[in-house]
């Protein structure tokens, strides 16, 4: 069974790639802003690509919260 095409997610991926390209151009004139734009674009790209390929989060371990207090 194929999943329906999601135009919104595809546009998010394109926007993230545009942000990466814009961040590369900003590195020459304003390096800190360029790095921040690139980091934000990478986060958006990671989330968008994960949702496009159907990746799921790993379930939390049942006792993980209690281990820190012991």
Domain boundary assignment for the chain: 1-51
Gap between the Cα atoms of 12 and 18, Å rounded: 10
- Could you read off the pLDDT of 38-51 as tens digits, one per residue? 999 999 888 877 77
Residues 6+ apart with CB under 8 A from 25: 34
pLDDT in tens, 4-17: 667 887 888 888 89
Q: Residue 70: is its pLDDT beyond 60?
A: no
CA distance readout (Å), 57 to 30, 46, 50, 54: 36, 13, 10, 10
Q: What is the pTM of this model?
A: 0.64
| pLDDT value for 61 | 47
Instruction: Output the six-digit token pair for 26.
Output: 């900003």
């Amino acid at each position: 069974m194929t999943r329906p095409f999601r135009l919104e997610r595809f546009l998010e991926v394109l926007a993230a790639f545009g942000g990466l390209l814009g961040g590369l151009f900003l590195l020459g004139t304003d390096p800190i802003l360029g790095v921040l734009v690139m980091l934000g674009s990478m986060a958006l790209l990671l989330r968008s690509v994960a949702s496009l390929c159907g990746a799921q989060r790993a379930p939390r371990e049942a006792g993980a919260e209690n281990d820190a207090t012991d």
